[in-house]
Amino acid sequence: MFRRRLIIYGLFLLLTGTTFLLNAQNSQPEAQVEAEFYFAPLPSFNEMFSALDYLEIRDFDQALEEDVFRVTEDVYQVAFALGVNTADAIIATKARNTEKLNEIAGVMIEYAHFLGLSEEILRLGDELHEMIGQGEWDNLMVSLEKYREEVEVSLYESRQFDLFTLMQLGGWTQGLNRTAYMLMNNYNEAKTGIVAQKGILNSLINNLTNIKDKYLREQSFYAMSSELYQMIREIIYSQKELYTEKNIEDLFSHTQKVKLGFLEG
């Protein structure tokens, strides 16, 4: 029931452009209050990409990068990479690319094992391979979204807030990056409003600011992400509804740099 409430509240508040503060200050003395981490679920990648309804299957296939996103076995880089691959899995499903989807699903399961996620999530990951083999594309889309939600909630409930933040950062960075890529190659001003997801953007920036682990805060990819996300925020808040080609190109460039930062370590 707790998981269900988290997801329902988070989705409602994302639609209103706000986030819900679950770690609200209570009766603890001020000095003992923990950093405030927001729980705002990532937007549905299926809905995000489906908003580009003028695109064809081949456009989504072209948006798949040649290599599956892999990183060195650092727990924070792996959390980010797991997020990236959850977004890529949706693109591969929309592209009906069985080979690429199998490869991405394999990396997702590998990284879920590495992060020590629950057996329930690992079983869900195994089910993905079965659905891919049977070509159950609609069911796959539902299961992939469920997988992402379960990972988010699992990390948040277990109070692994830093991993939760990095996983969300990877997912939304790749979702925005690939959306920008497809808009760059098939620019349609009327469809550019899909990038204006201010609720999750503000939540991510807040949670990055409240990262606890000193080791993580000292990493170059952390500093780079924090700086680039402020630049991304400036672009998204610079327009009311729709975005220029230059705006879209800059969003692609900034998110690409965030990804490269995690690949280089």
For 187-201, the pLDDT digits (tens) are 999 999 999 999 999
Averaged over 149-173, what is the pLDDT?
95
- Answer whether 248's CB lies under 8 Å from 255's CB: no
The 3-state DSSP class for residue 39 equals: strand
Give the per-residue pLDDT at 2: 38
* pLDDT tops 80 at residue 259: yes
Element (H, E) at 252: helix 245-264
Give the per-residue pLDDT at 8: 42
* pLDDT tops 60 at residue 29: no
Q: Which long-range contacts (CB under 8 A, 24 or more apart) does 223-231 make?
A: 224/257, 224/258, 224/261, 225/169, 225/258, 225/261, 225/262, 228/254, 228/255, 228/257, 228/258, 229/201, 229/204, 229/205, 229/258, 230/205
Averaged over 137-162, what is the pLDDT?
91
Confidence of residue 137 (pLDDT cuts 50, 70, 90): confident
Give the per-residue pLDDT at 35: 62
Confidence of residue 225 (pLDDT cuts 50, 70, 90): very high
Q: For residue range 89-130, what is the model confidence (pLDDT) as tens digits?
A: 999 999 999 999 989 988 998 998 899 887 777 777 677 777
Give the per-residue pLDDT at 129: 73
Confidence of residue 138 (pLDDT cuts 50, 70, 90): confident
